[in-house]
Amino acid sequence: MQLRSNYLPKDFIETRQGLIFAVVDPVVEQGHVLCFLRYVRENGVCRKHDTAAANAYLTDRYPQYLYHSTRLDARLHAVPVAEISRHYQPEAVLKTLPAMSRPDAVVAGLSKLLALLQTQSVDPNALGITGSVLISAQNANSDIDLVCYERAVFNQCRVAVQNLIETGRLQQLNDEDWQASYRRRGCALSFPEYLWHEQRKANKAIIDGRKFDLSLVLTTPAKSYGSVKKLGKTVIQCRISDDQYGFDFPAEFSTDHATITAIVSYTATYNGQARVGEWVEACGTLEQDAQGLLRMVIGSDREAQGEYLKVIPDHA
């Protein structure tokens, strides 16, 4: 199977030290792939790290992978291309899973999900698998993280999920599932706010008692971002004027704000968060590009602590 030579968000890369990073930006910057440490392979076992633990681990053992992107004016992780020992590509790995002779419960659930999506005319060749399954690190409690590489296919999957729920072949998340998802996210919204936004996105459901998520990654990003300068945190209220890139990575929502042209989110919590015509409140970091345009960015780190985007339902 021919692999891509480029790097996309949701790909994983591994170094010879057994450090496994999630790619977060398609641009190779000065020979470095921008990423965040997600797993460390020790004695054949992959141990997951959240952002704080990952930063502490790299600071202590491998500070060469701590990186400041001058283009994004952001601190994150980066691996020189020459030091990548393995490149995990979601679409390539997904194609190998049906050949497994003894799939575990997670892979079996994924195979069943793919079969159901095909009954809704979804093309499996436009899909990939990321998260723990991508590196064979799944366990009995793992979710299924499905990636769509075409916008039309992503939207088709969302409609398919709704149809499959209505016919009883998939299930909606129950309150316990939503509470668990909320705790994992650790976002700045209250649980009722989080639930209201999530339940209308149609990008999550349950198959055989296991949660799965749909995300969109375009092989050619719809938007490209040049160098920016960060200007500090701010809070705004405004109306969304365009949401066509609301599920992209990063998600972008154009606004009617007098000076801030767009709200951009690098954290999945706020993908699809708002729709055209809705009033929102957003807290994030103000950035200015080389042309002087201003945008707000949510998700300077993976958890986006204290940052948020939420609809103001009763705004007049």
Residues 210, 281: one domain? Answer: no
Burial class (CB in 10 A: 0-12, 13-18, 19+), 6: middle
pLDDT reading at 273 higher than 90 = yes
Is there a single domain that holds both residue 149 and residue 66? no
Tell me what pLDDT residue 170 has: 96
* Whether 210 and 104 share a structural domain: yes
61-98: pLDDT as tens digits: 999 999 999 888 888 999 999 999 999 999 999 998 87
pLDDT band at 302 (very low <50, low <70, confident <90, very high): low
Domain that holds residue 112: 90-216
Read off the pLDDT of each residue in 210-231 and give the average, rounded to a whole number.
84
Cβ contacts of 105-112, under 8 Å, gap ≥ 24: 105/140, 105/208, 105/210, 106/132, 106/133, 106/138, 106/139, 106/140, 106/142, 106/144, 106/210, 107/133, 107/138, 108/208, 109/144, 109/207, 109/208, 109/210, 109/212, 110/144, 110/146, 110/212, 112/207, 112/208
For residue 20, the number of C-alpha atoms closer than 13 Å in the C-beta half-sphere is 26
- Whether 257 contacts 271, CB under 8 Å: no
**Which tokens sit at 234?**
């701010």
Q: Are strands 12-15 and 84-88 parallel, antiparallel or unpaired?
A: antiparallel
Torsion sign, CA atoms 20, 22, 26, 29: negative
Amino acid at position 266, single letter: Y
User: Is the pLDDT score of 316 beyond 70?
Assistant: no
77 and 94 inside one domain: no
Both 72 and 113 in a single domain?
no
What pLDDT shows up at residue 300?
A: 67
Please determine, for residue 113, whether its predicted confidence score (pLDDT) is greater than 90: yes
Phi then psi for 202, rounded to 5 degrees?
A: 60, 35
Does 250 reside within a domain? yes
10 pLDDT tier (thresholds 50, 70, 90): very high
Helix (H) or strand (E) holding 124: none
Distance CA 285, CA 4 (A): 33
Q: Give this prediction's pTM.
A: 0.90
Q: Number of structural domains, the chain? A: 3
Q: Which of 23, 55, 87 is the last residue of a domain?
A: 87
CATH of the domain at 254: 2.40.50.140
Q: What is the model's pLDDT at position 305?
A: 76
Residue with tokens 């719809």: 222
Comparing CA positions, the residue from 134, 133, 63, 65 lying closest to residue 105 is: 133
Query: Does the residue 6 lie in any domain?
Result: no
pLDDT tens, residue by residue, 225-252: 777 788 889 999 999 999 999 999 999 9
One domain, residues 128 and 242: no
Residues with Cβ within 8 Å of residue 239, at least 6 apart in sequence:
255, 256, 277, 278, 279, 280
What token pair was written down for 53?
Answer: 């633990």
- Quote the CA–CA distance of 287 and 264 in Å, as a whole number: 10
